[in-house]
Structure 1
């Protein structure tokens, strides 16, 4: 039994980085690099084109990872985009679980996120045009969680909240408050010239390994996602193993140690633009390291649960019927990408139906909800309500119309 558990651990450490993290790295870097090269001009255009905001918000949310969606949240708090844009962005947000699905079940990912994108646009415009009871939800949430409205700076549960009252009229709904531009939410790195140099060296090595892992991952997919032996040699399997094990090890180091010295350690924060290519590379590496930690945790939770408890997760999900997409939508209420990565991993193993994957894709907000929670908890809670309702409708509707569709689009399935 110990030998089997150890093999599962090593394979998870290896496969997670090559099959998922390497693709995360290049995607996040490309998005960050575009932000750097455009110097945030996309954001300026968005602020001046209100009618296009829900569509652009949905497109930003659709980008794998949470970077695009995170950009939108401070814009809403500043009064630059509408509440419907926030809803559209969060509904379309694929989160970091998108990397798992696109790597292991690309056809399913395209369909699920395509449905989510269409739902996001319709919901965003509907909220802006008709409200759909935003006022009543706002009042109900106010009774549950009063929010500071005096334009001051208050300590709320240990989170500093900065607001101002001179917000532009007619933007979004009344659920939001606007931050004082002098309030700085950025975390600072520790001061240690020696450790900074060490960690920058680790960061450079990480990118070398990531590029090698990306080449191995592309080759792996081109070969039809075959089983790869766990060996140490100079052949494809050996390089696949070396890149995977080294990449995950360096990612854990960067996430738990390196971020304290080179910054970019808080995934819930993002700039409108980056100052240099180096900063874009650093941000991409740190966000990918975060994803790597959660992907490994998801792999191990799933695989160890199956082995230790002899679980038939696919059988349980099949017996659950309509409860499964409802559970997928409910799981999306949890902020962050960790639980969603677990669900995506389970889908890639053929254990949950496509309807549950789609419901979760619509409901989940990923890391994008964290800056909104930090700046206005009431708006974050209301936005979660408005992303969960369409998730339930679409998830249950898909289950009734096309069936559960276990294993749809999974490579090698």
Structure 2
């Protein structure tokens, strides 16, 4: 009897908390992040489909406009715009300064929280982030702002996968640290529904050749979009209700929509990333496409990119939440006690990839009014949201350099705002 009671106590406290964090992340990640990411990636993919590759061609031909274009992609709410810039860099279409500009301008999905609950603060914070992103992006591309030194430091960690560095040719005679990839006839994987497996591409060792799984993967892909639409509605309602955590429910209500779309959407995303994409011709996740062979293929590409981001988002959520559980760090308490160091702390927090920590940070500003405006600005510039994940998945070294670079303007701008901006107090712009 004593043994059974002890086992119940063990299951009832630490293990339950661990499971609660896991299931909570599985539900919230898809609604709070993936719904918005999927919508924005689809929007940009449809633009690519409509203009048939002319946008990437224009960027290649107008390199002086690239950092501005990167900042414009990044400043769009959510992570979708900045995510588009990452594979463009990998293939050598845009400069490294463009990547940094996109990452510095984006405030990730925490932007939706600030836009909904503190729109005036959002206007100023993201305006400053946009200007800082442009200036720093051009400084990197045309001034070589420390590129060679950072490349040399990264070189000590291990040689890049090619002989290139992390800057483009107009900076340090280098290039993306991965070689460009080829698309057969410019349309890799652009096959009709039911026949979209890449010809000659090998399946991972854990997957068998199977026409059934190919059909199942197409069906899951279609269902995924239905669930994403529900998650997007739930995400908008979540923000409209002040970002309050919904109850767990399996009913035809807002709480039920949040719960079911979150749990099902994340599960389907994991299937698409680890299984489905290999069967329906989208195995190269994180790669930019010049154009798409069909409207269905456009939706496929957006789904697979979002599924990849979802996998990384859940990993980031769990790492963050378990880190807080193990260390017992009180972010709200630290932010309130930071004083003049608050913008520096906000910028350093930006080194954490993903949106989880930054959504919490945005809620501390807009709901709890526990951090100053200067820290919000610094975090908005420094954080990379989920846009860093595609770069991490393909080229970890370039991702490390990029996230270090975005921290620099975050610290500088945040400290300047703290000392010289008259509205840098707590609660500025909160409704």
TM-score normalised by the chain length of structure 2: 0.71
Q: Which residue of 2 aligns with 1:67?
A: 83
Is 1:195 aligned with 2:210? no
Given the alignment, which residue of 279, 294, 311 partners 1:261?
279
Distance 1:263 1:364, change over 3 A: farther
Given the alignment, which residue of 328, 337, 341 partners 1:319?
337
Is 1:25 aligned with 2:44? no
Distance 1:326 1:369, change over 3 A: farther
CA offsets 1:326-364 (integer angstroms, 9 cap, x no match): 344345456xx43x5333334324576554443343234
Give me the whole-angstrom Cα distance separating, in 2, the residues matched to 1:141 and 1:34.
34
Alignment of 1:135-150 (within 5 A): 137-138=147-148, 141-142=151-152, 145=155
Distance 1:143 1:223, change over 3 A: closer
1:112 and 1:358 in contact (8 A); partners too: yes
Q: Which residue of 1 aligns with 2:249?
A: 231
Give me the whole-angstrom Cα distance separating, in 1, the residues matched to 2:139 and 2:35.
38
Give me the whole-angstrom Cα distance separating, in 2, the residues matched to 1:173 and 1:259.
36
Q: Which residue of 2 aligns with 1:359?
A: 378
Give me the whole-angstrom Cα distance separating, in 2, the residues matched to 1:103 and 1:273.
33
1:295 and 1:342 in contact (8 A); partners too: no
Q: Which runs of 5+ in 2 are unaligned?
A: 1-11, 189-197, 204-208
Q: Which residue of 1 aligns with 2:363?
A: 348
2:67 and 2:101 in contact (8 A); partners too: yes
Given the alignment, which residue of 169, 172, 193 partners 2:170?
172
Distance 1:104 1:7, change over 3 A: farther
Give me the whole-angstrom Cα distance separating, in 2, the residues matched to 1:255 and 1:367.
14
Distance 1:331 1:261, change over 3 A: farther
Give me the whole-angstrom Cα distance separating, in 2, the residues matched to 1:70 and 1:289.
16
CA offsets 1:1-54 (integer angstroms, 9 cap, x no match): 546665555444333333332222211111111112111211222333344333
CA offsets 1:188-242 (integer angstroms, 9 cap, x no match): 5624322222222212111111112223333444455555332233334333332
Alignment of 1:64-143 (within 5 A): 64-65=78-79, 66-74=82-90, 77=92, 84-94=97-107, 98-103=108-113, 106=116, 107=119, 110-128=123-141, 130-132=143-145, 134=146, 137-138=147-148, 141-142=151-152
Give me the whole-angstrom Cα distance separating, in 2, the residues matched to 1:143 and 1:317.
31
SS at match of 2:290: coil
Given the alignment, which residue of 210, 224, 241 partners 1:206?
224
1:55 and 1:121 in contact (8 A); partners too: yes
Give me the whole-angstrom Cα distance separating, in 1, the residues matched to 2:254 and 2:102.
40
2:35 and 2:235 in contact (8 A); partners too: yes
1:172: how far off?
1.8
Give me the whole-angstrom Cα distance separating, in 2, the residues matched to 1:105 and 1:260.
38
Given the alignment, which residue of 218, 221, 224 partners 2:236?
218
Q: Which residue of 1 aligns with 2:162?
A: 161
Question: More deviation in 396-405 or 46-55?
Answer: 396-405
Give me the whole-angstrom Cα distance separating, in 1, the residues matched to 2:321 and 2:399.
33
1:101 and 1:348 in contact (8 A); partners too: no
1:89 and 1:120 in contact (8 A); partners too: yes
Distance 1:125 1:306, change over 3 A: closer
Give me the whole-angstrom Cα distance separating, in 1, the residues matched to 2:318 and 2:430.
19
Question: More deviation in 22-31 or 384-393?
Answer: 384-393
1:367: how far off?
3.5
Give me the whole-angstrom Cα distance separating, in 2, the residues matched to 1:373 and 1:291.
15
Give me the whole-angstrom Cα distance separating, in 1, the residues matched to 2:395 and 2:402.
10
1:184: how far off?
7.5
Distance 1:328 1:183, change over 3 A: farther
Given the alignment, which residue of 11, 19, 36 partners 2:49?
36
CA offsets 1:118-156 (integer angstroms, 9 cap, x no match): 111222334455445x5xx51674476289xxxxxxxx8
SS at match of 2:333: helix
Give me the whole-angstrom Cα distance separating, in 1, the residues matched to 2:28 and 2:404.
36
Distance 1:115 1:211, change over 3 A: same
Distance 1:126 1:281, change over 3 A: same
Q: Which residue of 2 aligns with 1:390?
A: 409
- RMSD of aligned residue pairs (Cα, Å): 4.1
